[in-house]
Amino acid sequence: MIAIRSLTAAFASLLVAGAAMAQTPEYSAFSTDDEANNIEVFKHASPSVVNITNSRIVRSFYSLNPQAVPQGNGSGFIWSEDGYIVTNFHVIQQADSVTVTLQDGSTHAARLQGVDPDKDLAVLKIDPDGLELTPIDAGDSSLLEVGRKVIAIGDPFGLDTTMTIGIVSALGREIDALSGRKIRDVIQTDAAINPGNSGGPLLNSLGQLVGVNTAIFSPTGASSGIGFAIPVNTVKRVVPELILYGRVQTPFLGITQIPQPDYYRRLWGIEGVIVLDVVDGAGPQRAGMRGLRRDRLGRIVLGDVIVEVDGEPVQNEDDLASRLEQYRGGDTVVLTTIRENRRVEYEIELLAPASR
């Protein structure tokens, strides 16, 4: 009898507890800490995420009237309250017109502000008048570690504001940009990234931008668990220049480089950047740097081959361009070259792009 009464009392207490839960609109008690964090990050960051539609103007065979035909879509995010939007270069490449759709469903014509094909980044501009734009919070990609949780938000396959979750699978990867350059220090993640995610944000657990989703490795074209994002520290360096100048202000060294350099590096068994010629009046010429020349028998004689910039090794033209991106016009660098089997150092003042 005592046992039956105990069971009855326990059952009654469960009913009371169940009734209390049914009347409670919040179910946070049933969420894990990780789930609660996912929800919070989505609520915090999703207002900053936009859809981008890329259209081209075509003429129908039966009509002379031009029509805007969508040729693809991707994602992007709000960079600032004055209407700047960041996305991938390949999302808007060859577009005649671009439309940005905000989280409230409103659509806005965008103009191209600037591009950096070498980093697969582009900045668009929409009219901010009357809009409440929510800029994304930019984090610090240098703080990432393998195993950290990351969250991707974008419009895969046109399904707007989709969130996927994964971890940082690897750091320091390299991928090829459309320009042929290498994009370095890329983040690898297993968060599902599909067509349409390109240009969208990769976030950390604080809801901060740590990367821009840009590519996947997949034999089918859909997510296979290997996605890549441009690190936010690269974005923070590039985007302000695209806003101000429309392109990255990489300084000019003052040399011309040899065509098909990989062929000649293999032919001559060397590493480094082969100087084809020096520009008249530029720093390398004034410092005494030499390009290729021919001897009396018509044979090609190597001049300087750049192997270091400020002590950092340079193996090819991509290395040299990546090193120069860290400087501005007027800065002085020390170039180390190999000439006639000996190391030579030159102190060179870099030229601003506008002074080329």
- Give one DSSP letter per residue of 123-139, joined into a string: EEE---TT----PPPB-
Distance in angstroms (rounded) separating the CA atoms of residues 161 and 102? 10
Supply the residues annotated as catalytic: 90, 120, 198
Regions of the chain short of the pLDDT cut 50: 1-8, 10-12, 14-25, 27, 58, 65, 67-70, 356
Compute and round to an integer the Cα radius of gyration of the chain.
27
Exposed e or buried b per residue across 214-243, where buried means at least 16 C-beta atoms within 10 angstroms of its C-beta: bbbeeeeeebeebbbbbbbbbbeebbebbb
Residue 327 CB neighbour total at 10 angstroms: 17
Beta bridge partners of 332: 349
Distance in angstroms (rounded) separating the CA atoms of residues 182 and 38? 33
Among residues 329, 66, 113, 347, which one has the least CA distance to residue 242? 113
- CATH number of this structure's domain 141-245: 2.40.10.10
Beta bridge partners of 53: 73, 99
In three-state secondary structure terms, 85 is strand
In three-state secondary structure terms, 207 is coil
Among residues 223, 203, 112, 219, which one has the least CA distance to residue 157? 223
Beta bridge partners of 175: 183
In this predicted structure, what is the pLDDT of residue 173?
Answer: 95
Residue 135 CB neighbour total at 10 angstroms: 15
User: Which helix (DSSP H) or strand (DSSP E) does residue 188 occupy?
Assistant: strand 182-189
Residue 214 tokens read as 């840009």
**Residues sharing a CB contact under 8 Å with residue 165, sequence separation 6 or more, in sequence order:** 38, 149, 150, 151, 152, 191
Name the burial class of residue 130, with classes exposed (0-12), middle (13-18) and buried (19+) by CB atoms within 10 angstroms of its CB: exposed
In this predicted structure, what is the pLDDT of residue 153?
Answer: 95
- Rounded to 5°, the CA angle 121-125-130 comes to 145
In three-state secondary structure terms, 149 is strand
DSSP output for 319-337: HHHHHHTT--TT-EEEEEE
Q: Cα dist. 133→112, 163, 179, 204, 268 in Å?
A: 18, 20, 32, 21, 56
In this predicted structure, what is the pLDDT of residue 216?
Answer: 77
Residue type, 7: L
Equal CATH topology for 46-125 and 255-355: no
E strand intervals along 261-353: 273-278, 293-294, 300-301, 305-309, 312-313, 332-339, 342-349
Distance in angstroms (rounded) separating the CA atoms of residues 236 and 208? 13
Distance in angstroms (rounded) separating the CA atoms of residues 194 and 155? 9
CATH architecture of the domain with range 255-355: Roll (2.30)
Q: Where are the domains of the chain?
A: 46-125, 141-245, 255-355
CATH architecture of the domain with range 46-125: Beta Barrel (2.40)
